[in-house]
Amino acid sequence: MRNFKFELAELLSDKITGLSQDEIVAMIEVPTNTAMGDYAFPCFKLAKELRKAPPIIAKELAQSIGQIEFITEVQSVNAYVNFFLDKKLLVKEVLNKVLTEGENYGIASTKDKGNIVIDYSSPNIAKPFHIGHLRSTVIGNSLYRIFEALGHNCIGINHLGDWGTQFGKLIVAYKKYSSKEEIEQKGISELLRIYVLFHDEAKENPEMDQEARDYFTRMEKGDAEALDLWRWFKEVSLNEFERVYNMLGVTFDSYHGEAFYNDKMDASIRELEDKGLIEISEGAKIVRLDDENMAPCLITKKDGSSLYATRDIAAAKYRKENYDFKKCIYVTALQQNLHFAQWFKVIEKLEYDWSKDLVHVPFGMVSMDGGKLSTRSGNVIFLEDILKDAVDKTRSIIEEKNPQLPNKEEVAQKVGIGAVIFDDMYNNIIKDIQFSWERVLNFDGETGPYVQYTHARACSVIKKSGLDLENVPHFSIDYSVISDNATVGIIKELAEFDEVIQAAAANYEPSYIARYAVDLAQAFNKFYHDNPILVEDENIKNSRLAVVIATKYALKNTLYLLGIEAPVQM
Ligand code: ARG
């Protein structure tokens, strides 16, 4: 597709000395008021060099510009030169591109841009999968799709928290308070019950803590009984996590969790020692980060056991060796900022040039409104309850508004869960979220259901026209009948898609996609409101239908990039 902004900058760079084409591209604005043109070039910066007032520069510049093939009018207004694009040409360029790419609009078909590892979700075994893990899961999944859309090959890793002293505690608690049957029956909620019980009782009986530590040491030494129990607890937990992943439609390429690095940490520790980075402090091994104004990174405790950071260091090396990543991205809560800053520094001190490719993507907290989100299963797999509630609430909205809808259950699932996912990523991810059902499930707001509804509306027009949704033919388009403001509005939005995906990737911000989805939906609804589509005149009908079809592809793919389904009817 032609990039008119770029072409304009090239032409302007001939007229303006001292500014490069790239600088001009960066200066060109897109006026929100279309009466001010499609592009505006501000002349303030030139005043000093030309020793003239900006409005005079603008006037002279406007006059010096001759005919430009894709520009219908040039005006100077105050310090700006405004350019009006040839609308027919614009519509033609954009529609051609979108309709040619079709279902794949915005999504690369090749994966030749190198590997990107994304570490997301990563819940802790035998502990609840809470709303923070939901954020990591959906953000990570979206980043995965965004980078793949740009032609990278992504490797999604669920870095399970499946190692540590909590397993010693769990073993002691299991022997004291539970049974095989109870765990098989109740799953994680039973694991959590006995874990809490252990903590309460260990406050009175500190010897229980010692017992737990002993069990963990046995695990570390390879004791079969302890490891069998550990494996079983892990399996029980994973089965339940899997239910949530299925609801969300999220998958992983690897489940290598912390335990996987048990036999890989010694080599990392030795390397740190060989490179003279380790210092012994009260029996513990640490890497000092004084120069970086950070607390030291703890590598081993006094008793020789490893830590969270030790496993992350070993894991990063393993990933570099096995995936030769261009980037390795970690999606976790903001609270882990220091942890990542510390061990990223350690990798840098080891003089691995790929330390610059390690990226922490932190996100804010979610809090719940008015305690209305009661949990049926006593705080366990809290998240599953939220997702189920979202589906229940959507089901009743459908019953009320559209009881005749076919596949009601399927649509309720897609819309309810999509609503929760969308809300999670609508704002910059660093921001805290105050969860509110009213906002999440609002079909008219800036929400997932609104975008999905707009997509379904586009599908329904296409279907009513008699075209096959799955197999849309190319037909001749008369560009002169689709150059009104509302059409140009949606066309301009469509043209932005590639740039939005790139910006979302560069900033690790799925929210750019979510915001864009809403802009696209709003522009489409305006187009739809202003332009009746299924009219008698075949020429007009087909030309407008082409816009509908193009929008449908784009809306579906924005939702896809967020990890949200797009039902054809709702
Ligand atoms: N299990 C950790 C938690 O729940 C998140 C792990 C993130 N990934 C990592 N490589 N440290 O907080």
Contact 129, 377 (CB under 8 A): no
Residue among 118, 119, 121, 122 to mutate when testing ligand 1 (max atoms within 8 A of CB): 122
| Per-residue exposure over 521-540, b if at least 16 CB sit within 10 Å of its own CB, e if not | bbbbbebbeebebeeeeeeb
Q: What is the CATH number of the domain that holds 36?
A: 3.30.1360.70
Note the pLDDT tens digit of each residue in 117-162.
Answer: 999 999 988 776 777 788 999 999 999 999 999 999 999 999 999 9
Q: Does residue 534 lie within any of the structural domains? A: no
Q: Does residue 169 lie within any of the structural domains? A: yes
Q: Does residue 228 lie within any of the structural domains? A: yes
Q: How confident is the model at residue 369 (pLDDT cuts 50, 70, 90)?
A: low
Rounded to an integer, the average pLDDT of 236-258 is: 94
Nearest atom in ligand 1 to 161's CA: 1
Res 372 pLDDT > 50: no
Q: Does residue 150 lie within any of the structural domains? A: no
Residues with catalytic annotation?
127, 130, 133
Q: Does residue 54 lie within any of the structural domains? A: yes
Q: 156: part of which helix (H) or strand (E)?
A: strand 153-157
Q: How confident is the model at residue 383 (pLDDT cuts 50, 70, 90)?
A: confident
Ligand 1 atom 8, closest CA? 159
**Residue ending a domain, choose from 248, 266, 283:** 248
End-to-end alpha carbon distance in the chain? 34
Q: Does residue 226 lie within any of the structural domains? A: yes
**Residue ending a domain, choose from 216, 248, 280:** 248
Range of the domain at 14: 4-85
Res 501 pLDDT > 60: yes
Residue among 332, 344, 358 to mutate when testing ligand 1 (max atoms within 8 A of CB): 332
**Residue ending a domain, choose from 69, 85, 101:** 85
Q: Does residue 409 lie within any of the structural domains? A: no
Please list every protein residue whose CB sits less than 6 Å from any atom of ligand 1: 119, 122-124, 159, 161, 312, 330, 332
Give the Cα separation of 100 and 87 in Å (integer). Answer: 20
Count of domains for the chain: 2
Note the pLDDT tens digit of each residue in 42-80.
Answer: 999 999 989 999 999 999 999 999 999 999 999 999 999
Q: Does residue 276 lie within any of the structural domains? A: no
DSSP designation for 474: P
Residue 281, number of CB atoms within 10 A of its CB: 12
Nearest atom in ligand 1 to 332's CA: 7
